[in-house]
Amino acid sequence: MIGTTFKMVPQDPGFLNREGWVDICTRIEQMLELISRPEYKASLLKSIEYLQNLVNNNTDTDREMTVEAMEAEAEEKAQYETEQQVFPSLSNFAERLDENLWKSYQRTQHGSINYMVRLQDENRLLFLSDKLLTYLQEFN
């Protein structure tokens, strides 16, 4: 949902307008709150464990699998599909926010009210980045 919001929010020449940028930042903060819940963290840890086991078990490339075994493996992979998207998505969203803010600094007239307002967004991005790093450090 956040990824599509980047595309749907009205853009000024080459960057998100402030309202859209703040909206996306708020959505990322809400996502962080949701995935910080203990039950989701437990599911995320199971997903990481599953992927590590999958990598360890797939080192033997010569093994033959039955159709039923391949279907079972695909079903098990699908079970953790949401969790597997968390880490890449979080860092990607933060990078896109940063790039957009940087573009707004470059393309907004320095000294204007709009530029001064956008300068305030840097603090919000820094606090969000701090929350993201704290969350990701829990998983090493």
62: in domain:
no
- How far lies 94's CA from each of 120, 130, 132, in Å? 17, 11, 8
Backbone φ/ψ region at 102: left (φ over 0), alpha (ψ -120 to 50), beta? alpha
Those residues whose C-beta lies under 8 Å from the C-beta of residue 114, and which sit 6 or more positions away, are 18, 108
111 lies in which domain range? 86-140
Which pLDDT score is estimated for 125? 95
Q: Residue 102: inside a domain, yes or no?
A: yes
Confirm whether 104 is domain-assigned. yes
Is residue 132 in some structural domain?
yes
pLDDT of residue 63: 57
Say how many domains are in the chain: 1
Q: pLDDT in tens for each of the 140 residues of the chain?
A: 777 777 777 777 778 889 989 999 999 999 999 888 998 888 888 888 887 777 777 655 555 667 777 777 777 777 777 777 777 888 899 999 999 999 999 999 999 999 999 999 999 999 999 999 998 888 76
